[in-house]
A and B are shown apart, each in its own frame.
Chain A
Amino acid sequence: MSAVLVAVLVLLGLGLVFGILLGYSSIRFKVEGNPLVDQVDALLPQTQCGQCGHPGCRPYAEAIVNGEAINKCPPGGQSTVEALADLLDVEALPLDAEDAEEPIKKVAYIREDECIGCTKCIQACPVDAILGAAKQMHTVIVSECTGCDLCVEPCPVDCIDMLPLEPSLNNWQWPAPKPGIELIATDRQPGIALEVKG
């Protein structure tokens, strides 16, 4: 009887000790915010375009951590989806967009002759890439533009175009080689191989 009592007491004591330890460490080593959100946010293209239905990349990162689908980022393309799948260890879904092709990099361009200087696009730009003032002509700082096209909608005179970046010697890159015939020479004449084998 006493042995049982001792065992129960010992287990009870151990439970108490570890409970206190865990409780203390959960307070002492509390992690502020979710570190996973930061990791997801780092993979997103930061265009802040809102095409995923969230007001910016970070909100979408938070939503992904909370279980939202990872394929809602058209600017990131399939590569972003795959990177996210890799990080979160989930199935890489096909990109949920109208044209599932790899997105073409575009930047906003203001037809400066038509600009009336309303500053509406400046207020819309999430990265402050539009330069201008009231009643003054506006222009896009190309190197800062993320191509989110959020400035196109507010323009009252429709003078903003999304143009693909002009290819130049500086942004040219080697294309992927055309895939060759993925068969070895002997495979084309199966008989020979079989003969050799046989």
Chain B
Amino acid sequence: MKNTIRVHQFHGGIHPPENKKQSTGAPISLAPLPSRIILPLQQHIGLPADPIVKVGDRVLKGQRVAEAIGRISANIHASISGTVVDIGPHPVPHVSGMDADCLVIESDGQDEWIEHQGLPDYTQLAKPELIEYIRQAGVAGMGGAGFPTDVKLHLGDDHIVNTLIINAAECEPYITADDMLMRERADEILGGIEIIAHLLKPLHIMVGIEDNKPQAIRALHDALDKSHLNLDIVITPTKYPSGGEKQLIKLLTGVEVPSGKIPADVGIVCQNVGTTTAVYRAVILGEPLISRIMTVTGESANHKQNYEVRIGTPIADLLNHSGVDRAQMQRLIIGGPMMGITVTNEQIPVIKTTNCLIAASIHEMPPQPPAQACIRCGMCEQVCPAELLPQQLYWFAKGKEFDKARHHNLFDCIECGACSYVCPSNIPLVQYYRFAKAEIRKEDDEQRKADHARLRFEARLARLERDKIEKEERRKQRAIEAAAAQAAKKDAAFNKAASPATNNPTDAGVPDLKQLKSNAAIARTKLRKAEKALANAQDKGLDGIETLQATLKQLQLKSELAEKAYTEAQQAPAKSAAAPETDLKQLKSNAAIARTKLKKAEKQLAAAEAGGEGDIDALKAQVVALQAKSADAEKAYQAADSGTVSPVAIDTSALEAEIATLQGKVDKAENAWKAAVESGSPAAEKMAAGVEKLKEKLTGLQAELTQARSAVQPAATVDTSALDTEIATLQGKVDKAENAWKAAVESGSPAAEKMAAGVEKLKEKLTGLQAELTQARSAVQPAATVDTSALDAEITTLQGKVDKAENAWKAAVESGSPAADKMAAGVEKLKEKLKGLQAELTQAKGHLETNAEGKAEEAPAIDLKALKQQVSIMRTKLKKAEKQLAELPEGEDNASLMAEIEALRARHDAAKASFDAAEADKIAAAASEGIDLKQLKIDAALARAAVTKAERALSKAEQESKQSLETELLSIRAKADKLNATLERFSD
């Protein structure tokens, strides 16, 4: 059989005795069912698997017993059915001979499979799912390192895989596991290759096989030539270590994998033949990796052959089965003679990567002769397949110059042992390299750890520093707070001591009104007692009157102070707008008290005046003071009231009922009073006072009601008609009262004055109601259509009245009538009314206008141009008239002309005013859109000027510069147009 592919060369290599023939004589046989298996949780680099069964659990053959954690990790399955008897340390195949965690399963002898099912049509499955399926089966590289296969199958995701190489070289002496596998199970290999090719989609597949396995080559050809894949079987010359991954790649493709890179980086993926069968079994048959082909050989073994061995079988079982003569066995080696490890414990289990067991006799593998000095022969360099300088590396390793060893690419050494094999001084070179590698790794690890520790140490120092600063700050803060608290305490103590003397409630924060009140009351009672005592003393002519008087004075002073403090405290919250929680009731009662006090004082004054006794001046002064106080109190109350009423909804009906009852009472009282007056009863005065009080109450309530109503009005529809009727009835009352009063005056009745007061009151009420009515109407107006025509009519009638009244007045003046003054007042009133109505009318019209404007922005109600025209007409007329006046000769009667000019001027002014107003409106409208009308006008003018300028420039310009000028003109024109359009919008 000949290669169709040129085989390349790799540097170095050796030809040790093969010793393969011994174990190829017999076909693969099934090793006996072990009585117990030991499954190490870590069988390769990466993370150990995590057991998912407990001691005592029964497991079936093929059941997953440990789960992969992390990416580079593989599941582990039970290879027999039985019971888990132990999870713990157990000897494992490792050079150190140390124990590691293992899962021990005792067989139940039934060898019962767990339910499993293959994927005959795996091409239907998505790639990641298929790879996951293979991962679940725990497939790992069967050649050497036992690298989880699924990781390699994922290489197609981020690498372009051109070539898939199937490693069938099996270059190490003694081992024939792959050879026998190829001879007997070539179909399975083909199936596995197809699955891997399906996943990686390589352009080319090469099976590299050494020429010392002709039967395997033939079997492979028989099986693989049927394949539709682009597959070549490449036969390589027998040379150790052609089975090394990088060496085989060099042999088959001539490509050298760069140092520190993986084959996938150059588009190549390598898989062992054993792995392909494992993949085939996992995917097609659904069997996880629970057994492998393994060679048992060596001179001391009786049956040197290959067995299909369950993973976890102790090697002692295999040795017994193949009849190893323990007496003859000098060394027991797991793996090949070049790279394998020597073990002593026969309880070590077979793992996924165990491909050979050599029970060597002393004759076969004599003990290593003692190492001698390196003679610098350079043979090691000749055989090194990695093209390193083994001798140099040896010196560095021996001298512990690890950095230099690293720089001589120590980590490219594959530890194949070729250099040691050829060394004439028997130097264990590979051991030196392994040691150097371990030392370098350890140093790196320590450096990493030291850096980590430094980071942690620095972080800790920073934290301590931070804590210290924070603590210091907290301490300072606390000190400041404590100092502040101390100061506040001192202040408070000082204020306490000072406040009784100064009576200054604002310093102490919230004024204690009650305290002040009680203080004032105590002072008052003391004063009264003192007064009584004094009076008593004076009456009886006792001694010590002077002292009593002095005390009395002191007490008076004290009492005054207390009272003053109290009233001040009371007024303080009313005056301050910031204090919203003013006690309205308190204020109201204050006002009432002030009023009653005032009245009392007035009465006293009147009595004093009538009696001609007492200090009238003093009383008068008191009255004045009280009046001021009363006014203050009332003002405060009103201010507070108007500020608070709006948000509350007041039950007006209740108020109304109260008012009605009160009204009844008032009427009754008044009747009684009148009767008393008429009968000349002495109780009349008292009754008058009672009526007065009642009336006051009534007015208070009414005020409350109106307020409540005004609060309700904006929301509810206002019943203005009710107000109207009320006003009408009141008007009637007023008229009646006035008549009565006039009658009384005419008859000289003493009650006339009182009646006058009553009339005054009624009138006040009437005006109040009228004000309310107008308010209500104005409130309704913005929403409803305003009946301006009615107002107009009213105004005209009023105007007529005014004219009439004026005429009458003039007549009266001319006739020298004494009623002229009164008439003048009446005319004045009428005029006022007229003005009010006119104001109302303009307001209503203004409302209408704004409404209209709101509805139609673009169509302003006022025609600016028309207004302007009017103004100009007026101006011209005025000027004409003035000219006429000037042209008139002196001394002539120019009065009528003057009057005309006056009238014209007035008209002109009015027209101008209306025009100005309209213009102002326009500007305001523009401003509301963010445009300054004046600025806009200026801008537009400037733009227009720019356009004309540009046009002129264009007409004058040369041919070349015309184009740019044209574009410039266009842009300027566009700008001007825009500005003009905006301007037009606001100026019609």
Bound together: yes
Q: Given A180-B427, A181-B372 in contact, is the A167-B456 Cβ separation under 8 Å?
A: no
CB closest residue in chain B, given A145: B453
Contact B457 A56 (CB under 8 A): yes
Q: Is the pair A169, B372 in contact by a Cβ cutoff of 8 Å? A: no
Is B454 touching A57 in the complex (CB atoms < 8 A)? yes
A67 to B291, CA, bound (A): 65
Q: How far is the CA of A172 from the CA of B100 in the complex (A)?
A: 12
Across the two chains, which residue of chain A brings its CB closest to B442? A173
| Closest chain B residue, CB of each to CB of A41 | B454
Whole-angstrom distance between the Cβ of B457 and the nearest chain A Cβ: 5
User: Are B98's CB and A181's CB within 8 A?
Assistant: no
CA distance A56 to B458 in the complex (A): 10
Asked whether A173 and B438 contact (CB < 8 A) given A46-B457, A144-B456, A180-B427, the answer is yes
Which residues from 936 to 954 on chain B have a C-beta closer than 8 Å to any C-beta of chain A?
Answer: none
Q: Which of B92, B95, B456 has the most CB of A within 10 A?
A: B456
Q: Which of B206-214, B429-437, B755-763 contacts A (4 or more CB under 8 A)?
A: B429-437
If over half of A's interface residues share one DSSP class (helix, strand or loop), that class is named, otherwise mixed; here it is loop
Give the residue of A47, A177, A187 whose beta carbon is less than 8 angstroms from that of B431. Answer: A177
Candidates B373, B398, B427, B439; contact of A183 at CB < 8 Å: B373
Asked if residues B453 and A174 are in contact (CB atoms below 8 Å), the reply is no
Question: Does A31 reach chain B (CB closer than 8 Å)?
Answer: no
Using A46-B451, A181-B372 as known contacts, say yes or no to A173 and B457 having CB atoms under 8 A apart. no
Q: How far is the CB of B530 from chain A (nearest CB, A)?
A: 72
Determine the chain A residues whose CB is within 8 A of the CB of B426 once the complex forms: 180
Which of A48, A177, A179 gathers most chain B CB within 10 Å? Answer: A177
B402 vs chain A, min Cβ distance (A): 10
Q: A47-B453, A126-B457, A184-B425 are in contact. Are A173 and B375 (CB under 8 A)?
A: no
Check if A101 is an interface residue, CB within 8 A of chain B.
no
Residue A1 interfacial (CB < 8 Å): no
**Contacts of A47 on B, CB cut-off 8 Å?**
453
CB closest residue in chain A, given B431: A177
- Interface contact A175-B435, CB-CB below 8 Å: yes
Measured between C-beta atoms, what is the minimum distance from B73 to chain A in Å?
14
Docked Cα-Cα span, A129 to B432, in Å, equals 36
Chain B residues contacting A151 (CB-CB under 8 Å) are none
Bound: A128/B428 CA distance, A = 44
Any chain A CB within 8 A of the CB of B96? yes
Shortest CB-to-CB span from A168 to chain B, Å, is: 7
Cβ of B460 and Cβ of A128 under 8 Å apart? yes
**A173 B372 Cβ-Cβ under 8 A:** no
A44 to chain B, nearest CB (A): 7
Given contacts A46-B450, A46-B454, contact A181 B460 (CB under 8 A): no
| Distance of A185 Cα from B457 Cα, bound (Å) | 55
Question: Please, how many angstroms separate the alpha-carbon atoms of A129 and B460 in the complex?
Answer: 11
B575 CB, min distance to chain A CBs, angstroms: 60
A181 contact set on B, CB distance < 8 A: 370-373
Q: Is the CB of B450 within 8 A of A44?
A: yes
Contact assessment for B372 and A183 in the assembled complex, using a CB-CB cutoff below 8 Å: yes
In the complex, whether A119 has a CB less than 8 A from a CB of chain B is: no
Q: Is the CB of B98 within 8 A of A172?
A: yes
Enumerate chain A residues within 8 angstroms of B735, measured Cβ to Cβ: none
Contacts of A127 in B (CB 8 A): 453, 456-457, 460
B436 CB to nearest A CB, Å: 9
- Determine which residue in A128, A168, A174 has the highest number of CB atoms from chain B within 10 A of its CB, and name it: A174
A32 at interface, CB cutoff 8 A: no
Q: Is A182 in contact with chain B by the CB < 8 A criterion?
A: yes
* B478 at the binding interface (Cβ < 8 Å): no
Contacts A48-B453, A180-B372; A169 near B460 (Cβ below 8 A): no
Contact between B42 and A169, CB atoms less than 8 A apart: yes
Residues of A within 8 A of B460 (CB): 126-128
CA–CA, A183 to B427, complex, Å? 12
A35 to chain B, nearest CB (A): 16
In angstroms, Cα B96 to Cα A129, docked, is 30
B441 in the interface (beta carbon within 8 A): yes
Give the Cβ gap from A170 to chain B, nearest Cβ, in Å: 9
Residues A169 and B370 in contact, CB atoms below 8 Å apart? no
Contact of A172 with B375 at beta-carbon distance under 8 Å, contacts A177-B428, A180-B370, A180-B427 already known: no
Cα–Cα distance between A174 and B439 once the two chains are bound (Å): 9
In the bound complex, CA of A167 to CA of B96 (Å): 10
Contacts of B373 in A (CB 8 A): 180-184, 187
Q: How many A-B residue pairs lie within 8 Å, measured between CB atoms?
A: 86
Q: List, in ascending order, chain A residues with CB within 8 A of B427's CB.
A: 180
Q: How far is the CA of A43 from the CA of B453 in the complex (A)?
A: 13
Question: A46–B454 Cα gap in the complex (Å)?
Answer: 6
Check if A45 is an interface residue, CB within 8 A of chain B. Answer: yes
Question: Is B446 close to A, CB under 8 A?
Answer: yes
How far apart sit A181 and B94, CA to CA, in the bound complex (Å)? 28
A182–B42 Cα gap in the complex (Å)? 40
Q: State the Cβ distance, A102 to closest chain B Cβ, in Å.
A: 11
For residue B434, which residues in chain A have a CB less than 8 angstroms away from its CB? 174
Q: Is A176 an interface residue (CB 8 A)?
A: yes
B98 adjacent to A169 (CB under 8 Å):
yes
B454 touches A174 (CB 8 A): no
Q: A146 interface residue, CB < 8 Å from B?
A: yes
Instruction: List the A residue with the shortest CB-CB distance to B371.
Output: A180
Q: Check B453 against A46 for contact (C-beta < 8 Å).
A: yes
Do residues A174 and B372 form an inter-chain contact, with CB atoms below 8 A? Answer: no
- CB nearest neighbor in A for B460: A128
Residues of A140-198 contacting chain B, CB below 8 A = 144, 146, 167-169, 172-177, 179-185, 187
- Residues from chain A with a CB closer than 8 A to the CB of B441 are 173
A45 touching B95, Cβ below 8 Å: no
Task: Give the complex CA separation of A169 and B46 in angstroms.
Answer: 12
Please, which residues of chain A bring their CB within 8 A of the CB of B442? 173
**B370, B453, B460 — most chain A CB neighbours (10 Å):** B453
User: Would B435 and A184 count as touching, CB distance under 8 A?
Assistant: no
Chain B residues with CB under 8 Å of A128's CB are 456, 459-460
Contact with A along B491-516 (1 / 0, CB 8 A): 00000000000000000000000000
**CB atoms of A169 and B454 under 8 A apart:** no
The complex places the Cα of A162 from the Cα of B422 at a distance, in Å, of: 47
Q: Are B457 and A174 in contact (CB under 8 A)?
A: no
Instruction: Please tell me if the beta carbons of A48 and B446 are within 8 angstroms of each other in the complex.
Output: no
Minimum CB–CB distance from B464 to chain A (whole Å) comes to: 10
**When the two chains form their complex, are residues A174 and B42 in contact, meaning their CB atoms are under 8 A apart?**
no
Chain A residue with minimal CB distance to B458?
A58
CB distance from B722 to the nearest CB of A (A): 80
Contacting residue for A172 out of B42, B96, B425, B435, CB 8 A: B96
CB neighbors of A among B31-64 (8 A): 42
How close is A2's CB to chain B, nearest CB, in angstroms? 63
Contacts A46-B451, A46-B454 given; indicate if A169 touches B371 (C-beta within 8 A): no
What residues of A have a CB within 8 angstroms of the CB of B449 in the complex?
46, 146
Residues of A within 8 A of B42 (CB): 169
Do the beta carbons of B431 and A174 come within 8 Å of each other? yes
* Chain B proximity of A174: nearest CB distance (Å): 4
Is A185 in contact with B372, judged by CB distance below 8 angstroms?
yes
- B454 neighbours in A (Cβ, 8 Å): 41, 46, 57
Q: Which residue of A lies closest to B426 (CB)?
A: A180
Task: Give the CA-CA distance A149 to B437 in the complex, in Å.
Answer: 30
User: Please, which residues of chain B bring their CB within 8 A of the CB of A144?
Assistant: 452-453, 456
Could you say which of B372, B435, B437, B450 contacts A176, with CB atoms under 8 Å apart? B435
Q: Residues of B contacting A184 with CB < 8 Å?
A: 372-373, 375, 425
A-B pairs with lowest CB-CB distance, top 9: A180-B371, A173-B438, A174-B434, A46-B450, A46-B453, A127-B456, A177-B431, A46-B454, A172-B96
A sample of 29 cross-chain residue pairs with beta-carbon separation below 8 angstroms, ordered by A number, consists of: A44-B450, A46-B449, A46-B453, A57-B454, A126-B457, A126-B460, A127-B456, A127-B457, A128-B460, A129-B456, A144-B456, A168-B98, A169-B98, A169-B100, A172-B94, A172-B96, A172-B98, A173-B438, A173-B439, A174-B434, A174-B437, A176-B435, A177-B428, A177-B432, A180-B370, A180-B428, A181-B371, A183-B372, A184-B375
Residues of chain A at the chain B interface (Cβ within 8 Å): 41, 44-48, 56-57, 126-129, 144, 146, 167-169, 172-177, 179-185, 187
A126-B457, A173-B438 provided; 4 other pairs, C-beta below 8 A? A127-B453, A167-B96, A168-B100, A181-B373
